Amino acid sequence: MARPDKAAAVAELAEDFRTANATVLTEYRGLTVTSMKQLRRNLGSTTKYAVVKNTLTKIAAKEAGVDVPSGLLVGPSALAFIKGDPFVAAKSLRDFAKENPLLVIKGGIFDGKAITAEEFFTIADLESREVLLAKLAGAMKGSLAKAARVFDALRIKMEAGAPVAPVAAAVVEAPAEEAPVAEAAVETVVEEAALTVTEEVTEEVTAPVEAIEEEKE
């Protein structure tokens, strides 16, 4: 490769490293041209999958300030620069590798840190951002419905003359002129319920990633 062409290739690769949300290094030896085309289709337009010389990858990564372990730059390499949702692309790579064992996942860069092949597959098993948001929205909707049922039950108990907790009674018995105060109390209860759900979902998502970090330390 001529020097100007090499410089241009390195500059392009460095920019790919800088703009990618995650980068996965693979070994493609044995894959047919047809298989490579299918893989690119599976990854979609937000992921660039390219065969790159290890020497150029090393230089470009250094220029971009990305630390790529030398152990990943062994054998013929093809890089997946993921510029969309990393979890979705990781699942596509994982599924393709299962059906095409000749595609070997060597490792990569995720959230600015180097990961092993094992860590990659752990990440690929996590839910995507969209799925998690959908779950969170559903959980919060459920919490709001639950809060409404609780206050209906409190109202019924108050009307029946049954004893209730002081705070709940204050909310239910609040006169019309104190409605804003009562509404604020209701919102506080609902927000606390939603926060609990959010924390549970967040813990479910971050626990596997935190486990990976602990193992690396």
Residues 103 and 143 occupy one common structural domain: no
- The pLDDT tens digits for 25-79 are 999 999 999 999 999 999 999 999 999 999 999 999 999 999 999 999 999 999 9
Q: Are residues 134 and 89 in the same domain?
A: no
A 10 A CB-CB count for 33 gives: 7
Which among 132, 140, 119, 136 has a CA at the least distance from the CA of 208? Answer: 119
Q: Are residues 134 and 117 in the same domain?
A: no
Same domain, 114 and 192: no
Average pLDDT, the chain: 77
Are residues 161 and 62 located together in one domain of the fold? no
Pick the last residue of a domain from 124, 150, 165.
124
Average pLDDT over residues 156-171: 57
- From 124, 140, 168, the end of a domain falls on 124
Look at residue 117 in the predicted model and tell me its pLDDT: 93
Q: Which domain holds residue 89?
A: 3-124
Confidence of residue 152 (pLDDT cuts 50, 70, 90): low
pLDDT at 112: 86
Domain boundary among 91, 124, 157: 124
Say whether pLDDT at 206 is over 70: no
The CATH number given to whatever domain includes residue 76 is 3.30.70.1730
Compute the distance between CA of residue 157 and CA of residue 114 in angstroms, rounded to an integer.
58
pLDDT at 135: 56
Q: What total number of domains does the chain contain?
A: 2
Are 203 and 149 within one domain?
A: yes
- The enclosing H or E element of 52 equals strand 47-52
What percent of the chain is predicted at pLDDT more than 90?
49
Task: Quote the pLDDT of residue 78.
Answer: 95
pLDDT at residue 111 in the model? 86
- Confidence at residue 6, expressed as pLDDT on a 0 to 100 scale: 87
102 and 192 in a common domain: no
Residues in Cβ contact with 65 at an 8 Å cutoff, skipping those fewer than 6 apart: 18
If asked whether residues 140 and 211 sit together in one domain, one would say yes
11/111 same-domain check = yes
- Whether the pTM exceeds 0.85: the reply is no
pLDDT tens-digit readout, 88-131: 999 999 999 999 999 999 999 998 899 999 999 998 888 655 55
Residues 9 and 114 in one domain: yes
> What band does 179 get if pLDDT is binned at 50, 70 and 90?
very low
Predicted confidence at residue 24, as pLDDT, reads 96
Per-residue pLDDT, 193: 52
pLDDT at 106: 95
Tokens of 124: 């690929």
Q: Are residues 7 and 103 in the same domain?
A: yes
Nearest Cα neighbor of 113 from 67, 151, 157 is 67
Q: Do 10 and 104 lie in a common domain?
A: yes
